[in-house]
Chains A and B, each alone.
Chain A
Amino acid sequence: MSTLAPSRTEQSDDVPVDLRPLRRLKRNRLLLQLACVAVSLFMVVPFYLIAVAAFSSPAAMNEFPLRFLPTAFSVETMSTFLSSTGVGAGLINSLIVAVGTLALSLVVGAPAGYAIARYVFKGRDQYQLFLLFTRALPIVVLSVPLAELFLNVGMYDTPLAVVLLHTALTLPTTILVTASVFLAVPVDVEEAARIFGCGPLGAFGRVVLPLALPGISAASIFTFVLSWNEVLGATILTLNQRTLPATVLSSLSDSPLTFRFAGGFFLIVPALIFIAVMRKYLINMWGTTIR
């Protein structure tokens, strides 16, 4: 270091150093940062604006031009939204449906994921192809005939009907994600547990499950968000037992703008939490599940 420093100054005294590559590098880093900031603005500004709209007083939202800073802060818009008819019940229904979907798709999907990860069986490839195929289908579109079927068996307008539809929607993803999670658990530890006297269920419950739990909970949060976000099927399959997005959608045409802004903000909150929690898993989930 000490020998390098003088020689550098010496050099700059005698021959002019070509600083152009350095400058070009600096300029490129600057442009890179500018581009990143520009994209970030496009992604973030809408979130900021809907938050300002949802937390401004209704009177301020009637002004024109609107204020870009939250100077008229008030929780009136949000509290009006949350106390409107249907919103409280819709919130409860949404939570019931999302948790029900999560539970059902784990109960049905995790064993299937385990089977894909651990067993070679006839039709394994066909089964995976079937999953990919159903995953690509707009199953929600089938909610119109499903509504008719649910009417006949007396299940129309119940959270269970929506849970079933959402499970069909999320199940392929749950299976593929849990399969990749179980694949990541070394089979050796399971065999070791068996050697030391665990039954197949014991080995699964005591050794595999704890190791797979982080990945499985990531898949669960994903299922929760899919169900929370789904609106078309939930609207078609219910009439009075609406979920929150279905409530907002069906009252779009006859609700004031402030109600819609508050609804929009409220629907986004779980998304923000979801990505914050899932940041580490995002690439793994989309990278591995899709193939």
Chain B
Amino acid sequence: MTRTELVREGARGGRASRSRRLSPALLLISPSIILMLLLFAWPMVAGILQAFQSPDGLGLDHIERMVGDGQFGPAVRNTLLLIVVLLPVQFVLAIVMALLLHQRPKGQGLYFYLWAVPIAVSDLAAGLVWLAIFTDNGYLNSALSTIGVGPVSWLSYTNPTSQFTAILVAELWRATSLVMVIVVSGLQGIPKDYDEAANVFGATYWTRLRHVWLPLLKPSLQVALILRTILAFQTFAVAQALTGQDFPLLVGETYRFYTALQNPNVASALALVVMFVSMAAAFLYLRVLRDGTKGAAR
């Protein structure tokens, strides 16, 4: 409405008034563009130079050091494993939570609040919360001891599976809320007519879920999926808080090379790896998003 009016006005006024229309907008957005380029493009270039620096000009010394490091392989594997296992579980849980709220249970306002709270919890704090539960003298072992199950060292490096599970549960707890809120807002955007029509024709709950809600939720789910994928590549402080360096992840390795090993060049190289993987995902994100909106009813 407002936009079309302005366009019409600009067209009526001819060339001179249109250029007067253009300049305030550019004036208003230019500070943001300058700031983003300064804080994104500049360090990006500097980071590439830093990573490919070598005693004699440019070289692959730091890349070799990065790939040759014993923790690099496990870090890549753990990061990918975390994404592959976490995201499906997270999405199923988030969709179930959103569907439960959609059924309007008594006290749904309270439930929504309780389920949304972890959205604002930092990954470091989430790691520390679950540390209280999983640590050797923690609450999980305390609970197990009352039914006579001996203490288990959940976070010890000798138990990589339980380490992984602990990080998985902490991430599931912290980040599922975000997906849930996106799905809830997607469900609210679905016109009630579709559901009512399906109901009139006698569709069961499962049929409606499969053939009405899920297809209409697709755009929301795609957005949430790619957003979470990119965020999951940055998982870091949860693992630091729970297992220290015992469970290497890519961003955690950046941190280790920068602080403990004081090697900013390799840290930059690792940062670039994370950066490029995320960029690839972001391109995918935009592509999928466009296709998604093209296919949607709007």
Contact = CB atoms under 8 A, between A and B. Distances in A.
Contact of B112 (A68, A172, A261, A279): A279
Given A276-B113, A287-B186, A267 B10 contact: no
A284 B254 CA distance: 35
Contacts of B10: 120
The 4 closest A-B pairs by CB, nearest first: A264-B128, A287-B185, A229-B122, A65-B142
A168 B2 contact: no
17 contacts: A46-B132, A65-B145, A68-B142, A111-B28, A121-B26, A140-B234, A141-B278, A145-B271, A149-B46, A187-B5, A235-B255, A236-B258, A245-B122, A261-B132, A271-B122, A275-B119, A279-B112
Nearest to B97: A39
* Tier of interface size on chain A: 35 or more
Given A264-B129, A264-B132, A66 B139 contact: yes
A35 interface: yes
A142 B44 contact: yes
Contact of A171 (B6, B35, B97, B259): B35
A231 B123 contact: yes
* Tier of interface size on chain B: 35 or more
Interface stretch (B66-74, B196-204, B206-214, B223-231): B223-231
A189 to B, nearest CB: 11
Contacts of A268: 121, 125, 129
B43 A33 contact: no
Interface string A260-291: 11011001101110111001001110110011
Contact of B29 (A40, A43, A111): A111
Interface of B: 1-3, 5-7, 10, 21-22, 24-26, 28-29, 31-33, 35-36, 39-40, 42-44, 46-47, 50, 96-97, 100, 103, 105-107, 109, 111-125, 127-133, 135, 137-139, 141-143, 145-146, 151, 173, 177-178, 181-182, 184-186, 188-189, 219, 223-224, 226-227, 230, 233-234, 236-237, 240-241, 244, 251, 254-255, 258-259, 264, 267-268, 271, 274-275, 278-279, 281-282, 285-286, 289, 293
A26 interface: no
Interface stretch (A2-10, A83-91, A131-139): A131-139
B129 A283 contact: no
Contacts of B268: 144-145
Interface string A81-102: 0000000000000000000000
Nearest to A245: B124
B244 A252 contact: yes
B120 A270 contact: yes
A271 to B, nearest CB: 4
B234 A141 contact: yes
A195 interface: no
Given A283-B181, A287-B181, A291-B223, 16 more contacts: A40-B111, A42-B173, A64-B145, A130-B36, A136-B230, A141-B278, A142-B43, A143-B271, A146-B39, A148-B50, A171-B32, A232-B254, A267-B124, A267-B128, A271-B125, A290-B223
A241 interface: no
A39 B100 contact: yes
Contact of B264 (A46, A136, A147): A147
Contact of A118 (B2, B114, B130, B185): B2
Interface string A163-206: 01101100110010000000100010000000000000000000
Contacts of A230: 122
B181 A282 contact: yes
A248 interface: yes
Interface string A13-24: 000000000000
B40 A168 contact: yes
B206 to A, nearest CB: 13
Contacts of B282: 133, 136-137
Interface string A36-75: 1001101110110110010000000110111010000000
A182 to B, nearest CB: 10
A287 B282 CA distance: 19
Given A141-B274, A145-B50, A290-B227, A36 B105 contact: yes
A195 B179 CA distance: 45
A257 interface: yes
B146 A65 contact: yes
A167 B275 contact: no
Contact of A144 (B103, B107, B131, B267): B267
B24 A115 contact: yes
A115 B23 CA distance: 10
Contacts of A43: 114-115, 117-118, 173, 177
A62 B127 CA distance: 20
A187 B9 CA distance: 14
